[in-house]
Amino acid sequence: MNRILIIGAGGVGGVVAHKCAQVPEVFDEIVLASRHLDKCNALAAQLPRPIRTAQVDADDPKQVAALIRQIQPNLVLHVALPYQDLAIMEACLETGVPYLDTANYEPPEVAHFEYSWQWAFRERFAKRGIMALLGCGFDPGVTNIFCAYARKHHFDEIHEVDILDCNAGSHGKAFATNFNPEINIREVTQRGKYWENGQWIETEPFAIHRTFDFPEVGPREAYLLYHEELESLVKNLPGLRRIRFWMTFSQEYLTHLRVLQNVGLTRIDPVMYEGHPVVPLRFLKAVLPEPSSLGENYTGKTNIGCLIRGVKNGRPLTYYIYNVCDHAACYREVQAQAVSYTTGVPAMIGAKLMLTGAWRGQGVFNVEEFDPDPFMAALPQHGLPWVETFVDELL
């Protein structure tokens, strides 16, 4: 009998809870825990079968370990914030329970993320005989698995990867972010970075952009950003010569972001306000819409995929694989928008593969280190169909 403990009751946590509830043959019991119990209970009330809920401050490894001891789950699925990664991993080590997340660790006081902090747990997880699966959302997550699948089935060697993330939806708000506002704004305002010929190349934020014609969506302007899957794919895709990440933004979003930056509201250092230290970005998060609240009137689609170039049997090959997801259809199914949906579904699939033993290991892993086939087969079964094409030139 499997019992899963989901930590984080936001946009993504809601989707994970819904999707786990749809698969009772794997997830016999579901427990949803988060900082505020009322949010867990509100989500629980939407689900087709009863689940348990709990309150936890996941910044505190002792609280998480105590909760794990009380619940006795077979897996902890962490979809709270990246700040909690290390605390939850420590608690999993202490209690001997496997771990899965969708975003790599970043310290609250520095807008910087990288895998080194979590990869450093590898030996301890291996010694404890348990598995940690990192970055099992869509990007990172499915995009890494698309690369592993391409390498397994279509290429002898992959030379170039462009990860293309397009949200062509409209939520009707002047400004909102599709996942946690604090994490989102920290991510998109940092310097751009990509990897070419064995070295990292940095750019000014939003300095490089181009128009891509996305299937089922149309032409959109995409901006080169640094994204965490670049780090693990550079390590795990032998023969790679260049890898870049592109994300679309509307002019409306970029204008709002520029103004917020210019007036200091994206700062992450505390400022004194009426005798109290206030982090401007945290205050901004408090006044922006929550990602879980955006779904109701969201229209349009996302298209996220990988454009891959390399060689097969000595011949150059260009391959494009992507998923298209419709915001309104997601809302009808699980009362969430497509960015939460495309993250929550892969997290549930990763948990399913771990619990059924299809993916097993001892240590800390990124998703591209496992056989992509069972994951690729599960994606369309659980709401994320994918399309692959062989194209001459898309760029």
Give the footprint of ligand NDP on this chain (CB under 6 A). Answer: 8-13, 34-36, 39, 56-59, 79-82, 84, 102-103, 137-141, 179-180, 183, 290-292, 339-340, 343
Q: Give dist(CA 105, CA 149) in Å, integer.
A: 26
User: Counting Cβ atoms within 10 Å, is residue 36 exposed (0-12), middle (13-18) or buried (19+)?
Assistant: exposed
In the complex, what is the shortest distance from the CB of residue 313 to ligand NDP, in angstroms, rounded to a whole number?
A: 33
In the complex, what is the shortest distance from the CB of residue 343 to ligand NDP, in angstroms, rounded to a whole number?
A: 4
Q: Which is nearer to ligand NDP, 61 or 363 (CB)?
A: 61
Q: Which is nearer to ligand NDP, 164 or 339 (CB)?
A: 339
Q: How many CB atoms lie within 10 A of CB 316?
A: 10
Q: Which is nearer to ligand NDP, 95 or 102 (CB)?
A: 102
Q: Which is nearer to ligand NDP, 103 or 150 (CB)?
A: 103
Q: Which is nearer to ligand NDP, 98 or 181 (CB)?
A: 181
Q: Which is nearer to ligand NDP, 281 or 317 (CB)?
A: 281
Q: Give dist(CA 322, CA 342) in Å, integer.
A: 12
289: cis peptide before it, omega within 30°?
no
In the complex, what is the shortest distance from the CB of residue 110 to ligand NDP, in angstroms, rounded to a whole number?
A: 16
In the complex, what is the shortest distance from the CB of residue 390 to ligand NDP, in angstroms, rounded to a whole number?
A: 26
Closest CA to 306 of 370, 203, 376: 376
Closest CA to 372 of 161, 159, 152, 155: 152
In the complex, what is the shortest distance from the CB of residue 234 to ligand NDP, in angstroms, rounded to a whole number?
A: 17
Handedness of CA 23, 29, 34, 37 (dihedral sign): positive
In the complex, what is the shortest distance from the CB of residue 365 to ligand NDP, in angstroms, rounded to a whole number?
A: 15
Q: How many CA atoms lie within 13 A of 59 on its CB side?
A: 5
Q: Which is nearer to ligand NDP, 55 or 362 (CB)?
A: 55
- Rounded to 5°, the CA angle 197-200-201 comes to 100
In the complex, what is the shortest distance from the CB of residue 1 to ligand NDP, in angstroms, rounded to a whole number?
A: 26
In the complex, what is the shortest distance from the CB of residue 43 to ligand NDP, in angstroms, rounded to a whole number?
A: 9
Q: Which residue type is seen at 266?
A: T
3-state secondary structure 128-157: HCCEEEECCECCCEHHHHHHHHHHHHCCCE
With residue 312 as reference, give the H or E element that holds it: strand 301-312
Q: Which is nearer to ligand NDP, 320 or 341 (CB)?
A: 341
Q: Which residue is nearest to ligand NDP (CB)?
A: 10
Q: Give dist(CA 381, CA 334) in Å, integer.
A: 15
- The residues, ordered by sequence, that sit 6+ positions from 241 with a Cβ below 8 Å of its Cβ are 159, 160, 196, 197
